[in-house]
Amino acid sequence: MANSNNKKFVLPAELVRENSQSTLKEIEQFLHSIDSSNVEIDFGSLENIDSAGVAVIDQVYELSEESNIKINLINVSKKIDISLSTFSSRNLKPIKEKPKPKLFEFLGESGFRFWEHVKSFVYLCADIFYWGIGGLFNKKGQRKGEFTNQSNLIGVNAIPIIALISFLIGFILTLQSAQQLRQFGADIFVVDLIAISMTREMAPLMTAIILAGRSGSSIASELATMKISEEIDALKTMALNPIKYVVLPKLYAMTIATPLLTILADAVGILGGFVVGVLFLKIGAAAFLNRMASVMVLKDIITMIVKSFVFSWIITVVGIYFGLEAKGGADSVGKNTTASVVTAIFMVIVADSILGLLFY
Amino acid sequence: MSSIIEVKDLITEYNGERILDGVSVDVKKGSIFVILGGSGCGKTTLLKHIIGLLFPVSGSIKVFGQEIVGMEEKKFEEILENCGMLFQEGALLNSLSVGENIAIPLRQHTDLDEEIIQRVVRTKLHLVELDYALNLSPSELSGGMKKRVALARAIALDPKILFCDEPSAGLDPVTTREIDKLLMKLRDQLDMTIIAVTHVVDSVRRIADEIIFLDDGKVMFTGSFDKAEKSDIPQIKKFFID
Ligand SMILES: Nc1ncnc2c1ncn2[C@@H]1O[C@H](COP(=O)(O)OP(=O)(O)OP(=O)(O)O)[C@@H](O)[C@H]1O
Ligand SMILES: [Mg+2]
Q: Residue B189's pLDDT is what? A: 86
Residues B221-239: pLDDT tens digits? Answer: 898 888 888 888 888 888 8
The predicted model gives A46-71 an average pLDDT of: 87
The answer to whether the CB of A71 falls within 8 A of the CB of A59 is no
CA B182, CA B166: separation in Å to the nearest integer?
A: 14
Handedness of CA A292, A298, A299, A305 (dihedral sign): positive
The predicted model gives A75-86 an average pLDDT of: 88
Domain co-membership, B154 together with B165: no
B6 contact A CB<8A: no
For B11, the enclosing helix (H) or strand (E) is: strand B3-14
Measured in Å, residue A136 CA sits from the centre of ligand 1 at 39
Residues A149-189: pLDDT tens digits? Answer: 999 998 899 999 999 999 999 999 998 888 888 788 777 88
Q: Residue A221's pLDDT is what? A: 95
Residues A328-353: pLDDT tens digits? Answer: 888 899 999 999 999 999 999 999 99
Domain co-membership, B54 together with B104: no
Number of domains present in the structure of chain B: 2
Q: Which of B110, B134, B158 is the last residue of a domain?
A: B158
Domain co-membership, B29 together with B99: no
Residue of chain A nearest B80, judged by CA positions: A239
pLDDT surpassing 70 at residue B242: no
The predicted model gives B73-82 an average pLDDT of: 89
Average pLDDT across chain A, whole number: 88
- Three-state DSSP at B17 gives strand
Measured in Å, residue B64 CA sits from the centre of ligand 1 at 26
Q: Nearest 5°: phi and psi at A166?
A: -65, -40
pLDDT surpassing 60 at residue A1: no
CA B6, CA A80: separation in Å to the nearest integer?
A: 55
The predicted model gives B110-116 an average pLDDT of: 88
ipTM of the complex: 0.89
Domain co-membership, B153 together with B167: no
Q: Quick check: B87 and A238 CB within 8 A?
A: no
CA A273, CA A198: separation in Å to the nearest integer?
A: 10
Domain interval for residue B221? 3-82+159-241
Residue of chain A nearest B92, judged by CA positions: A231
Domain co-membership, B194 together with B150: no
B31 lines ligand 1 (CB under 6 A): no
Q: Residue B1's pLDDT is what? A: 66
pLDDT surpassing 50 at residue B196: yes
* Domain extents in chain A: 2-91, 114-358
Q: Residue A4's pLDDT is what? A: 43
Domain co-membership, B13 together with B77: yes
Domain co-membership, B182 together with B193: yes
Q: Quick check: B53 and A144 CB within 8 A?
A: no
Domain co-membership, B113 together with B124: yes
CA A242, CA B96: separation in Å to the nearest integer?
A: 15
The answer to whether the CB of A154 falls within 8 A of the CB of A253 is yes
Q: Quick check: A231 and B92 CB within 8 A?
A: yes
Domain co-membership, B115 together with B178: no
B39 lines ligand 1 (CB under 6 A): yes
pLDDT surpassing 60 at residue B121: yes
Partners of B81 on chain A (C-beta within 8 Å) are: 239
For B210, the enclosing helix (H) or strand (E) is: strand B210-215
CA A212, CA A226: separation in Å to the nearest integer?
A: 20
CATH code, B11: 3.40.50.300
Question: Could you tell me if residue A105 is left (phi over 0), alpha (psi between -120 and 50 degrees) or otherwise beta?
Answer: alpha
Q: Which CATH architecture has domain A2-91?
A: 2-Layer Sandwich (3.30)
Domain co-membership, B78 together with B172: yes
Ligand 1 pocket test, pick from B11, B14, B35, B239 with the greatest ligand atom count within 8 Å of Cβ, gives B14
Taking only residues 66 to 105 of chain A, the set having a beta carbon closer than 8 angstroms to any beta carbon of chain B reads none
Measure in Å the smallest separation between the Cα of A126 and chain B Cα atoms.
Answer: 16
Measured in Å, residue B12 CA sits from the centre of ligand 2 at 15
The predicted model gives A130-143 an average pLDDT of: 82
User: Which one-letter amino acid corresponds to residue A272?
Assistant: G
The predicted model gives A263-291 an average pLDDT of: 90
Instruction: Name the most confidently modeled range: A237-251, A306-320, B114-128, B132-146.
Output: A306-320
